[in-house]
C-alpha cells in the first residue's frame, strides 16, 4: 500500500515538473551567444552597425513579443550559425535571411516581418501595388534605428519621395496640402501596406478620404454637382497645383 502511494506521488511530481517547465527552444542551426556575439561585430561602429536596435521595440528583451526575447537577432535573420563558422570568398557566410539586398528574395524578407506584424493594418498587403513592385519592408522601415523615419510626420514624406519623386515636386507648388509644414503626411491619406481602394487610399474612395478633413463638403446638399459626387480629383489635384485651390 505504501509502495503504491509512493509510486503515485512520484508520478505526480514528475507530471507537475513537466507541466511547469517552459518549452525548450529549438536551437538547431542557431549561433550561440546572440545578441552579444552579433553586436561584437555589428555594434555601434564597424561592419553594418546594428546596436541601435537595442533602443527600439525590437530590441527590448523584457517584452514578450520582442524578437530579442526569443532568438535575438536570429529571430529575424533565421538560424545563422554558418555566419560565424563558414567563409565564402574570404567573407563570412551570409545569415539565412538578409534584408535590403537580393541575397534573400523580397517575399521571404517580407514574410519574416509579417510573421509578427500581420494585423488589420496590413491585411491588404498581398496583391497591393507595393507588393507587386517587389517593395520590401526594409525599403521603407529602418529596423536598427530609433526613431524609424517613416513613422513620423517630419520625416515620413522623404522616405516616400525616394520612389515617388513627382510628388515631391507637387507638394512645393503654390497650392498644396500642408506636407511641407508637417501638418500632415502621406499616410494621412494612403495606407502604404495596401488597401481595397484605388491608390492605396486609407478609406474606401477618394471622396471618403477627403471628407476626413473636409467634412463640410460631404453634404448632402439640395443642389449637388455630379462630378463632385463622383470624385473630388475630377476637379482637384491632391498633391499640389499651380491653381488655387489645387484645381486641375
Q: Do 154 and 225 belong to one domain?
A: yes
Residue environment code for 91-108, b if the CB has 16+ CB neighbours within 10 A, otherwise e: eeebbbbbbeeeebebee
More confident residue, 144 or 46: 144
Distance between CA 223 and CA 220 in Å, rounded? Answer: 9
Are residue 120 and residue 71 in the same domain, yes or no? yes
What's the domain count of the chain?
2
Could you tell me which of 125, 117, 27, 39 has the C-alpha nearest to residue 80?
27
> Are 162 and 93 found together in one domain?
no
* Structural domain contains residue 81: yes
Mean pLDDT score of the chain: 88
Phi first, then psi, for residue 42 (nearest 5°) are -105, 50
- Of 29 and 28, the structure prediction assigns the larger pLDDT to 29
Which pLDDT belongs to residue 9?
A: 46
| Residue 165 cell numbers, joined | 519623386
Pair (159, 229) in one structural domain? yes
> 175 and 136 share a domain?
no
The pTM (predicted TM-score) of the whole model is 0.81
The pLDDT, as a whole number, for residue 24 is 43
Residues 115 and 190 in one domain: no
Shared domain check, 165 and 93: no
Task: Give residue 166's domain range.
Answer: 149-234
Record the cell numbers describing residue 172, joined without a space: 512645393
Q: Is the pLDDT score of 161 beyond 70? A: yes
Q: Which of 109, 140, 171 is the last residue of a domain?
A: 140
Contact criterion met (CB below 8 Å) for 54 and 63: no
Grid cell at residue 63? 517584452
- Whether 241 is covered by a domain: the verdict is no
Q: Which parts of the chain fold into alpha helices (H)?
A: 2-20, 36-41, 74-77, 82-85, 106-117, 129-132, 137-140, 153-161, 165-170, 206-210, 226-230
> Is residue 186 predicted with pLDDT exceeding 90?
yes
The lowest-confidence range among 11-25, 27-41, 230-244 is 11-25
* Nearest of 111, 142, 108, 143 to residue 125 by alpha carbon: 111
Whether residues 127 and 154 share a domain: the answer is no
Amino acid at each position: 500500500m505504501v509502495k503504491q502511494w509512493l509510486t503515485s506521488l512520484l508520478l505526480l511530481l514528475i507530471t507537475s515538473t513537466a507541466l511547469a517547465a517552459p518549452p525548450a527552444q529549438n536551437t538547431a542551426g542557431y549561433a550561440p551567444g546572440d545578441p552579444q556575439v552579433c553586436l561584437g561585430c555589428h555594434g555601434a561602429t564597424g561592419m553594418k552597425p546594428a546596436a541601435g536596435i537595442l533602443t527600439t521595440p525590437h530590441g527590448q528583451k523584457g517584452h514578450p513579443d520582442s524578437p530579442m526575447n526569443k532568438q535575438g537577432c536570429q529571430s529575424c535573420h533565421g538560424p545563422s550559425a554558418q555566419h560565424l563558422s563558414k567563409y565564402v570568398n574570404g567573407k563570412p557566410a551570409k545569415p539565412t535571411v538578409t534584408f535590403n539586398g537580393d541575397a534573400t528574395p523580397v517575399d521571404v524578407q517580407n514574410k519574416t516581418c509579417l510573421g509578427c506584424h500581420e494585423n488589420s493594418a496590413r491585411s491588404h498587403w498581398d496583391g497591393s501595388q507595393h507588393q507587386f513592385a517587389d517593395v520590401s519592408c526594409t525599403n521603407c522601415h529602418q529596423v536598427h534605428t530609433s526613431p524609424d523615419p517613416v513613422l513620423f510626420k517630419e520625416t515620413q514624406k522623404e522616405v516616400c519621395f525616394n520612389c515617388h519623386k513627382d510628388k515631391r515636386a507637387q507638394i512645393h507648388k503654390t497650392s498644396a496640402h500642408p506636407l511641407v509644414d508637417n501638418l500632415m503626411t502621406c499616410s494621412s491619406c494612403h495606407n502604404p501596406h495596401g488597401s481595397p481602394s484605388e491608390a492605396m487610399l486609407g478609406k474606401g474612395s477618394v471622396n471618403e478620404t477627403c471628407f476626413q478633413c473636409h467634412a463640410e463638403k460631404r453634404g448632402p446638399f439640395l443642389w449637388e454637382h455630379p462630378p463632385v459626387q463622383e470624385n473630388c480629383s475630377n476637379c482637384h489635384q491632391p498633391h499640389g497645383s499651380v491653381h488655387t485651390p489645387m484645381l486641375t
